[in-house]
Structure 1
């Protein structure tokens, strides 16, 4: 098996697991507060990550850091993104949350220009603008003052906010990868997310019943495995080759959303998602043409932040 094909298969496997993980969180969302879901997702990923680091004889490297405040800042941004994503999952269909979430890479281009001084020329800015139009198409039906749709409107706003924080997390990861190992970024994100999620205890955590506990713990374990897979994928394939496969999440979300939750996609959601995906692929293609290196940063980022 070629190195590139191995990277693609690992990336697709990680995408599938992240979508399944999101579905498990969504199944618990009616009763489990987002902060509690963030804790389970983060805490139960850590043993998986530690075993992986030990198996690679990379445990010392994975725990070594020269920038603890940088990891804390990354964790704070990421846990906020994750909390908004999980809150959105409780209010919107899984495919819609997935589609809106594709706005995060578009916002990363903007934040990269503003915060990192990256050069963004007309081609990429045009693609970003087109992608944001696609996002607007997706959320437009949700922008209503009708009492019957207020929950969905709030859900759309939560997911949009998560995209903002996910983009900021990507910027912070780009700063960290200059001196930190990806394994350290992965581990300390899970650690800081777990600790920060505990701060939401006063806001009404519940004692999960057996079914909820299995789903929550399973989400954490699958999230940890998926993070390992995505990190490993970028060891075998270039960022420009692997990044477009993120958009396979839309297909898996449509299938799982329909099969598990009975969610039927709407025409605006599908049309908007198609535009956003096309814009994202164009940006990735352009970055590859320009030779921009994003692999290590992408390897340290989860779809939640």
Structure 2
């Protein structure tokens, strides 16, 4: 019968039995992948909404106070998510307290620098600078993780920095320097460096820590760091200011949950391209709420950065596929 195991006592004249071929690992279901992509799109949009609330809050509130509200109110959806996953309070146990401190040092610095960038730049340009983080992760991985990225990834990183030059070009036009643009871009560059360093630490943490644990401690430690700025002067938020501050925290926490659930439903390489829809969200919100668009040269630089960052995951995906299709020697 088909599939029956041959009799081992058969004579030498029996036909040779071919080696069994291991069954391939089934890919994620198409429904699960679609759900993962949808959640990734929601996550990208929520992160832009969070950035919008932060930018509106910077009109009155100091950066330290925004960090506190962004982190403290993010704990509400994060804890609710952990309870829904039946991981609370079990998820609060950690094997790497020092690793969390290092990750939060980089992540907290990245948050502060990101908020400074949002205070001085249009939403779309500040969002584009955030895409430098995966490009900076290329040299960071070479230095700290001993990885050897291909020529495509290295070329994409260089192209991304060319995009930064294009974004800066309008600041040097005219008789006076545009100090706001220079401060915003400088903060955005430093934010990308801190984010890339934080991603290296997250990669180390994920060996023993659940995503919810990493998110929880990030929110707690950043909230404490923001609270430490209280003696340096906080406003008494009311009305719109209070709504912006709370909205930044809730939307940031929901964005992280959506991203975590997306990663559980679809391969990262499938989701990565959809992160760059954040540029479209940012451009639309800039136009609808602030009535502005960046200059054509700055906009071109922003899209060069986004396209370069998109190349890195796609190059890895197609490289892995080509390697799998290559015949064995």
TM-score by length of 2: 0.85
Structure 2 portions without partners, runs of 5+: 1-29, 322-329
Residue in 2 that maps onto 1:49: 78
2:113 paired with 1:84: yes
Residue in 1 that maps onto 2:137: 108
Structure 1 portions without partners, runs of 5+: 293-305
How far 1:234 sits from its partner (Å)? 0.3
How far 1:151 sits from its partner (Å)? 2.1
2:208 paired with 1:179: yes
CA distance in 2, matches of 1:253, 1:214: 20
**Runs of 4+ deviating beyond 4 Å:** 143-148
2:103 paired with 1:74: yes
Any conservation in 1 of the 2:169–2:298 contact (CA below 8 Å)?
no
TM-score by length of 1: 0.91
Residue in 1 that maps onto 2:87: 58
2:33 paired with 1:4: yes
Residues 26-67 of structure 1: per-residue CA shift (max 9 Å, x gap): 111121111111110000010211111111111134212101
Q: 1:152-191 residue pairs with structure 2 within 5 A? A: 152-191=181-220
For the structure 1 residues 88 and 146, does the alpha-carbon distance in structure 2 shift closer, same or farther, using more than 3 Å as the test? farther
Match of 2:124 among 95, 105, 108: 95
Residue in 1 that maps onto 2:235: 206
CA distance in 2, matches of 1:191, 1:102: 25
How far 1:165 sits from its partner (Å)? 0.6
For the structure 1 residues 179 and 159, does the alpha-carbon distance in structure 2 shift closer, same or farther, using more than 3 Å as the test? same
Residue in 1 that maps onto 2:23: none
Residues 169-220 of structure 1: per-residue CA shift (max 9 Å, x gap): 1111011111111111111111111111222223322111221111101110
Any conservation in 2 of the 1:79–1:197 contact (CA below 8 Å)?
no
Residue in 2 that maps onto 1:274: 303
CA distance in 2, matches of 1:196, 1:274: 34
Match of 1:195 among 216, 224, 229: 224
Match of 1:259 among 288, 297, 316: 288
How far 1:75 sits from its partner (Å)? 1.0
**Range 76-85 or range 60-69, more displaced:** 60-69
CA RMSD between the two structures = 1.8
How far 1:274 sits from its partner (Å)? 2.1
Residue in 1 that maps onto 2:316: 287
Question: Which structure is larger by alpha-carbon Rg, 1 or 2?
Answer: 2
